[in-house]
């Protein structure tokens, strides 16, 4: 189960900060290693405060890997949220769902956590330093999901 670090509310960037998520992308890339029968699944979160990335390896034979449901699961996270309500909502959904759905929520929560850490460290920039990686991912992807 994925968990979020709970920041002290006295910090300058507390969890009541608003986050507007405008896009969620999922790239499914075949594993590069010759002996790996699986995929690198990458999730990119685009928000008004920056980008969040997460990834995990999924074996080709993994019966819990259901991309068909990800569209409806992740679409509910497009919009404007406070970080605290978003974290609370993710925690509730991860606790209430079965394993196949948790994979999508866990990828999303890691991306939100990465973005939250960037905000806390004030390293968010208006340019996307990973645009080159995104281009490579789009070229290699055997499956691509974009939610706006």
**Domain spans of the chain, in order of start:** 18-147
Window from 19-28, 42-51, 61-70 with minimum mean pLDDT:
61-70
Model confidence pLDDT, tens digit, residues 56-75: 888 887 766 777 788 888 99
What confidence tier does 142 reach under pLDDT thresholds 50, 70, 90? confident
CA distance 65 to 100: 6
CA distance 6 to 4: 6
Give the gyration radius of the chain's Cα atoms. Answer: 15
What is the architecture of the domain spanning 18-147? 2-Layer Sandwich (3.30)
pLDDT for position 37: 81
CA distance 62 to 57: 10
């Amino acid at each position: 189960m994925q968990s979020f670090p709970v920041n002290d509310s006295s910090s300058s960037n507390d969890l009541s900060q608003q986050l507007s998520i405008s896009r969620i992308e999922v790239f499914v890339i075949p594993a590069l290693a010759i002996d790996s029968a699986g995929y690198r699944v990458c999730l990119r979160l685009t928000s008004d405060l920056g980008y969040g990335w997460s990834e995990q390896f999924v074996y080709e034979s993994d019966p819990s890997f259901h991309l068909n449901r990800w569209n409806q699961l992740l679409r509910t996270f497009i919009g404007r949220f406070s970080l605290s309500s978003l974290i609370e909502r993710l925690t509730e959904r991860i606790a209430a769902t079965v394993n196949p759905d948790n994979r999508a929520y866990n990828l999303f929560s890691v991306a939100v956590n990465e973005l939250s850490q960037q905000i806390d460290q004030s390293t968010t920039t208006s340019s996307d330093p990973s645009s080159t990686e995104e281009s490579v991912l789009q070229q290699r992807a055997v499956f691509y999901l974009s939610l706006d």
